[in-house]
Amino acid sequence: MDIRTIGTTPLAVTQFGFGGAAIGGLYRECTREAAIETLQTAWDAGLRYFDTAPFYGFGLSERRTGDFLRSKPRETYVLSTKVGRLLRPVPEDQVPDHSYVNPLPFAVDYDYSYDGIMRSFEFSHARLGLNKIDILYVHDIGAYTHGAEKNAVYLAQLLDSGMRALDELKTSGAISAYGLGVNEVEVCLDVIARHPIDCILLAGRYSLLDRSAERDLLDVCRKKQISLVIGGVFNSGILATGPVAGANFDYGPASEDVLTRVRAMQEIAEDNDIPLAAAAVQFPLRESVVANVLIGTAKPSSLTRNMELLKVNVPDAVYAAVEPFTVR
């Protein structure tokens, strides 16, 4: 599998990687056995970049990812996790509902400060059972998650002291790169204007359907030599399922406008005898600042099916034809 570098760092990742939210039980339960089998399927397919987070199953995804990777030679893979949330033990009847099924018994507290980031980094090492993390992403900073008023407080916390923690970790060699792991473009531009970063894990905003990142972010990333890692290539499912009843877009039911756009895209794909999902999963890597596309699932069969999509030849004419139907 081809590799691309992260920013100006010497760190290189395979162009496709494994996203660990689903093995933490996102939306449906995932057993430990299924998680390990899925991770092994990813490894066998050539994926050597693995992304996880404390939030995914409230520690469950990190534990399972670490259990799997512990037997692999450390120099053969790249691992990222996230900071910005701290886990706090609570009774089972007080575990919050964040769409994870049977997570570990913790609540989640936001903390983007120097101390919060350093504590999160140490706790992640313990959950992973590994002594090296390559990339740290600041998780879900932005108004999309917090609302404008709360985010102003959290962003000040990050810029006033949290970034210093990330700088120290990188300078010491404890990590090789850091950046943001978010679902919105605006906060990326805000942070980049005030502090240098290496990379952005951007979910759902540079896809075949949603091209929000094209307005300003791609140009900024090119100029600043910031790499993008793309998550959510199917935009919560609709680009994989097509515009069927109950299709989801951006973590909720798709609107009629989105369904109409995807119907048009699907007709174009069918006219060219290709699955729409193949165009979706291959699309982001057409852009040079994109270093990696994450594929997230808790089923080996789904991962295998998605990897088969990489073998489909998608003509340039298809991408040109679907562009008028994109969300910007």
Report the catalytic residues: 51, 56, 82
8 Å CB contact between 201 and 21 = no
Q: Which two tokens stand for residue 268?
A: 């174009």
Rounded-to-integer distance, Cα 81 and Cα 269, Å: 35
Backbone angles phi, psi at 201, to 5 degrees: -90, 105
DSSP letter at 105 equals S
- The DSSP secondary structure of 213-264, one letter per residue, reads GGTTHHHHHHHHT-EEEEE-TTGGGHHHH-S-TT-EETTEEPPHHHHHHHHH
Report the run of H or E that residue 180 belongs to, with start and end.
Answer: strand 177-182
**Cα dist. 327→13, 211, 249 in Å?**
29, 6, 11
Secondary structure class of 108 (helix, strand, coil): strand
SS3 200: strand
Q: Which H or E run contains 61?
A: helix 60-69
Q: Enumerate residues 6+ apart whose C-beta is below 8 A from 62.
A: 20, 52, 53, 54, 56, 81, 124, 127, 128
